[in-house]
């Protein structure tokens, strides 16, 4: 994960992710998704979005240890890895102290992306995402220009 310099991200996967978020947002609930796929020579190809079993509230979401385990089993089976976890906030996007503790990805170089307004943003609005990367054990905010370089929206 740590060596990945580019992430190819199909616009259809962003669309599916945002739709899921908006569906929960209608009920004022945060929601969580994971982007999974394959790493090939420092380029990550996002293949699917997964929506883990989750409990959702207005201010957070919760995924049980069992369900985190189930995600890892499924990843192994498909020979996929998870590049990013995403979740929504009602308004502004930022990583709360709860978010820092509740992350389900733990490989160095993984991403955690916070999406504002319960996902009511355009598909190509990368600048609206607030993106953190797990570096030296800390979720580190990534600059917008870095995010734009990392995430390439493809057809």
Shortest distance (Å) from residue 5 CB to Zn ion: 26
Helix (H, G, I), strand (E, B) or coil at 134: strand
Interface with Zn ion in residues 35-94 (CB under 5 A): none
Cβ closest to Zn ion, residue 6 vs residue 102:
102
Q: How many residues bind Zn ion (CB under 5 A)?
A: 2
Cβ closest to Zn ion, residue 7 vs residue 113:
113
Q: How far apart are CA 27 and CA 152, in angstroms?
A: 31
Q: How far apart are CA 55 and CA 34, in angstroms?
A: 15
Pairing of strands 43-50, 6-10: parallel
Shortest distance (Å) from residue 118 CB to Zn ion: 12
Q: Does 132 bind Zn ion (CB under 5 A)?
A: no
Cβ closest to Zn ion, residue 4 vs residue 18:
18
Q: Does 99 bind Zn ion (CB under 5 A)?
A: yes
Cβ closest to Zn ion, residue 78 vs residue 94:
94
Q: Half-sphere exposure of residue 69, counting CA atoms within 13 Å on the CB side?
A: 3
Most distant pair of Cα atoms in the chain: their distance: 41
Q: DSSP labels for 92-115?
A: S----HHHHHH-S--STT-EEEEE
Shortest distance (Å) from residue 59 CB to Zn ion: 8
Residue numbers of the site for Zn ion (CB under 5 A)?
Answer: 96, 99
């Amino acid at each position: 994960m740590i060596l990945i310099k580019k992430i190819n991200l199909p616009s259809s996967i962003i669309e599916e992710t945002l739709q899921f978020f908006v569906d929960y947002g209608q009920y004022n609930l945060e929601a969580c998704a994971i982007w999974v796929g394959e790493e090939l020579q420092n380029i990550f190809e996002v293949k699917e979005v997964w929506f883990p079993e989750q409990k959702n509230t207005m201010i957070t979401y919760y995924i049980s240890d069992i369900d985190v385990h189930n995600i890892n089993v499924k990843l192994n089976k498909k020979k996929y890895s998870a590049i990013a976890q995403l979740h929504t906030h009602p308004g502004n996007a930022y990583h709360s102290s709860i978010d820092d503790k509740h992350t389900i990805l733990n490989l160095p170089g993984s991403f955690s992306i916070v999406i504002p307004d319960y996902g009511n943003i355009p598909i190509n609005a990368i600048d609206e995402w607030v993106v953190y990367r797990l570096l030296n054990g800390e979720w580190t905010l990534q600059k917008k220009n870095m995010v734009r370089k990392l995430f390439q929206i493809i057809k």
